[in-house]
Amino acid sequence: MIYILLGTVGFGLIHLLDLASLKKLPLIKPVLWFLGTGLIVYAVVMVAVAEETLPLPTWLSPAGWILFILALCFMAYVLYAALPFSRTYITSGTNGQLVTEGLYSLVRHPWLLFFTLAMLGLVLGSRSVLALGAGIIWTMFSIVLVYLQDRHVFPRMFPGYEDYQKRTPMLLPNKDSLSAFFKGLKRNKTLEVQSK
């Protein structure tokens, strides 16, 4: 249970980054990011190796690990490549840049979508009872934090966020957001071909 608590604290620290950004507190953002990420990674490893296992078929384990790795890759992309890393996680103040393209045209918080898939993969891969509990608690806690962030913090951080809220769903893609995503892919492909 301590590992679930450590992971929960890690998610709380990561979400404090936004408040540190709004208050323009120097050096706080990288400390929060490093500590939060460290706690989450440690907690994920520990819940995955817990001894008590779920009675799941063995063949699900490789599929679970593949889902876990793919979801982590997408989550890392939307958090660290699609966003300006230094301005988001290191320098004081807000980066002022609202990202609405790519996976951010599907949902406003794509990391949480991929995190949920990663937790499903972790449970299937490790078959750990503790991973199941952690996945449920961390996902629910993150949904609450993201809801507060979406309603109260991001509108203050990013000009145009209210318009983004109107056209892009918060957590689950819909028909319009899927259409916007595929139009963006097609537009990027066309621009890529034209530049050659």
d(CA 123, CA 135): 8
pLDDT in tens, 3-20: 999 999 999 999 998 888
Look up residue 16 and give its amino acid: L
The answer to the question of residue 18 being in a domain is yes
* 8 Å CB contact between 135 and 122: yes
Asked if residue 22 belongs to a domain, the reply is: yes
Domain contains 195: no
pLDDT tier at 194, thresholds 50, 70, 90: low
**178 in a domain, yes or no?**
yes
Give the count of domains, the chain.
Answer: 1
Q: Rounded CA gap, 176 and 158, in Å?
A: 22
pLDDT of 26:
76
Residue range 172-195: mean pLDDT, rounded: 82
**Rounded-to-integer distance, Cα 150 and Cα 92, Å:** 20
> Is residue 24 one of the residues assigned to a domain?
yes
Residue 102 is assigned to a structural domain of this protein: yes
Q: What is the CATH number of the domain that holds 113?
A: 1.20.120.1630
> One-letter amino acid identity for 12?
G
Q: Say what the pLDDT of residue 181 is.
A: 92
| Alpha carbon distance 32, 10 (integer Å) | 9
| pLDDT of 184 over the 90 cut | no
pLDDT at residue 107 in the model: 96
Per DSSP, the residues of 81-99 read: ISS-HHHHHTSSS------
| pLDDT tens, residue by residue, 42-57 | 999 999 999 899 999 9
- For 73-121, write each residue's pLDDT tens digit: 999 999 999 988 877 888 777 777 899 999 999 999 999 999 999 999 9
In a domain, 135, yes or no: yes
Six token digits for residue 137:
């608690």
Give the confidence band of 195 by pLDDT, cuts at 50, 70, 90. low
> Residue 122: which domain range?
2-188
Q: What is residue 94's predicted lDDT score, i.e. its pLDDT?
A: 74
pLDDT at position 24 over 90: no
What pLDDT shows up at residue 125?
A: 97
Residue 11, in any domain of the structure: yes
Band (192; pLDDT cuts 50, 70, 90):
low
- Specify whether the CB–CB gap between 46 and 3 falls below 8 A: yes
Kindly report the average pLDDT of the chain as a whole number.
92
